[in-house]
Amino acid sequence: MTQAHFVPLEFVEYPAEEMARRAAEFCSEMQRRRSVRHFSDRPVPRAIIEDCLRVAHSAPSGANKQPWHFVVVGDPETKRRIRAAAEAEERAFYEHRAPQAWLDDLAPLGTGPDKPFLETAPYLIAIFAQRYGLRPDGGREQHYYVQESVGIATGMLIAALHHAGLATLTHTPSPMNFLSEILGRPPHERPYLLLITGYPAPDATVPALSKKPLEEVVTFI
Ligand code: IYR
């Protein structure tokens, strides 16, 4: 067992007005974030993606076990294979797997089985959740709150990419097992989500959606 060891917190305090300004600015910046389905093939420096992944990797996790793995796919042939496998699942979903109510709920998004962005966008980030860890000796390391931890890291990654000036799409073709196979990930890792990122296409459009009023989703007591 490793003993607790403490170091000073690096905390930056802002004067009240600056705090208010920062909160408001970040709010407007994040409110501009949209799920984008039309991507440009413009290249994006890998260093940008790496910094955003550092943000994701700084996320809190159950007992600090960091139960995630990120595979960044920029290779065209691998993207092509992912697109083919994802579209096969999506076709089954849209043609017979999805109940009508689900299709009705998706109608406002204008989605369909064709996913050209899986080849157009410069990067597909496949996020894997580790059900347990593997020690160098092959022993298993217990992981905790895996879904929550990976969800938090994913949210931070989306925010970091948006903040950097890139568009993203959270994509969850279902089932996603093909990602483990194509990307050669081990069985203790489950594909969690595919995050598409890059510049939006110059003529990109997004569905006209709105969020519920804050009062409906927040209660102060
Ligand atoms: N995975 C499909 C369907 C889909 C499901 C939900 I829930 C969405 O919010 C969006 C799409 C697709 O990507 O088209």
- Indicate the pTM of the whole model: 0.97
Q: Is residue 168 part of a domain?
A: yes
Q: How many angstroms separate the CA atoms of 65 and 141, rounded?
A: 9
Q: Is residue 207 part of a domain?
A: no
Contact criterion met (CB below 8 Å) for 154 and 195: yes
Q: Is residue 145 part of a domain?
A: yes
Query: How many CA atoms does the CB half-sphere of 105 hold within 13 Å?
Result: 5
Q: How many angstroms separate the CA atoms of 21 and 5, rounded?
A: 36
Nearest atom, ligand 1, residue 90 CA:
2
Q: Is residue 31 part of a domain?
A: no
Residues with Cβ within 8 Å of 51's Cβ and at least 6 positions away in sequence, in order, are: 160, 164
Tell me the torsion sign for CA atoms 95, 168, 159, 130: positive
Q: Is residue 35 part of a domain?
A: no
Q: How many angstroms separate the CA atoms of 81 and 32, rounded?
A: 32
Residues with Cβ within 8 Å of 37's Cβ and at least 6 positions away in sequence, in order, are: 111, 117, 169, 204, 206
pLDDT, residue 75, reads: 98
Residue nearest to ligand 1 atom 2, measured at CA: 173
Q: Please give the tally of structural domains in the chain.
A: 1
> Which residues form the domain of 53?
43-201
pLDDT in tens, 93-150: 999 999 999 999 999 999 999 999 999 999 999 999 999 999 999 999 999 999 999 9
Dihedral, 10, 16, 18, 22 alpha carbons, nearest 10: 80
Q: Is residue 196 part of a domain?
A: yes
Given a cut of 50, the residues of the chain with pLDDT beneath it are: none
CATH number for position 50? 3.40.109.10
pLDDT, residue 82, reads: 98
Q: Is residue 206 part of a domain?
A: no
Say how far residue 111 (Cα) sits from the centre of its chain.
Answer: 18
Tell me the torsion sign for CA atoms 75, 194, 45, 149: negative
Cis peptide upstream of residue 187 (ω within 30 degrees of 0): no
Q: Is residue 29 part of a domain?
A: no
Query: Which residue of 103, 111, 115 sits with most ligand 1 atoms within 8 Å of its CB, as the best mutation to test the pocket?
Result: 111
pLDDT, residue 1, reads: 73
Ligand 1 pocket, Cβ-based, cut-off 6 angstroms: 90, 93, 106, 109, 111, 171-174
Nearest atom, ligand 1, residue 112 CA:
14
